[in-house]
Structure 1
Amino acid sequence: MKRDTQKFHVKVLSAPEAHIVYMTGELDLGTAELFQSAVEPLAAQEGVPLKLNMRELTYIDSTGIGIIVSLLKQRQASDGQITAQEVSPKIRRLFDMTGLSQFLNVEGGGG
């Protein structure tokens, strides 16, 4: 069964001071490749902060969390951080339960 990739969108705003990745919809097994292909090249750029704006992210599964963990490991090698912005209480609770909050810089809360 083919997954509906229209339920997830990624928009990247790149500037010298930071890369901001805006996520909309559901990040899961069916949409993870789109997210991964958008953020991996950004994570590889040393010295430019990476920010994941989750204001419009409604769902994330273990596949999405696994990609974030992989990005954190990639950034850790170059002492770069990843910041999650506008994280909803539901997703923040998931990050807390999985221990991801300890490694991810979480800014502000979303709706």
Structure 2
Amino acid sequence: MNRKKFEVIAREEADQHTIYVKGELDLAVAAEFRSAIEPLISTDKEVILDMGELTYIDSTGMGILIFFLKARKEENRAFAVQNIPQKIKKLLDLTGITRFLPVQDGAPGQEAGEV
């Protein structure tokens, strides 16, 4: 099996945390992804999830994404995604998740809905 290695890179800047995900986000790496983003639930800084190099996401990965989105919303903290690959966006659109995700890079005026 030729799996693409999953990687999470976190960068902290003055006013935001950017989380870069790369490879396949599935059940096998879900714990790694969750442990990388969970500490950022309560941060005052905006959290940006950059999906530019994400090649695959399964229901487990989407579940963690929804969990994080809800947790940030409950704490009135800013969260957005950027650089969603077309095939990932299509899946998020089909499942209805994109209407709740604020997209930072190319959808002016797009707002997050109620989760």
Task: Give the TM-score normalised by the residue count of structure 2.
Answer: 0.84
Match of 1:68 among 65, 70, 82: 65
1:97: Cα distance to partner? Answer: 1.1
2:42 alignment partner in structure 1: 44
1:33 match: secondary structure: helix
User: Please, which runs of 5 or more residues in structure 2 have no aligned partner?
Assistant: 107-115
Deviation per CA, 1:30-72, whole angstroms, max 9, x where unpaired? 0111110000101221x21110111110000000000011001
Across the two proteins, how many residue pairs are aligned to each other? 105
2:9 alignment partner in structure 1: 11
Q: For residues 82 and 76 of structure 2, what CA distance do their matches in structure 1 show?
A: 19
Amino acid at match of 1:67: I
1:30 alignment partner in structure 2: 28
Q: For residues 20 and 35 of structure 1, what CA distance do their matches in structure 2 show?
A: 13
1:107: Cα distance to partner? Answer: 3.0
1:26: Cα distance to partner? Answer: 0.3
User: Please, which runs of 5 or more residues in structure 1 have no aligned partner?
Assistant: none
Q: As a proportion of its length, which structure holds more strand?
A: 1
Task: Give the TM-score normalised by the residue count of structure 1.
Answer: 0.87
Q: For residues 39 and 91 of structure 1, what CA distance do their matches in structure 2 show?
A: 19
Match of 1:59 among 47, 56, 60: 56
Aligned-residue CA RMSD (Å): 1.8
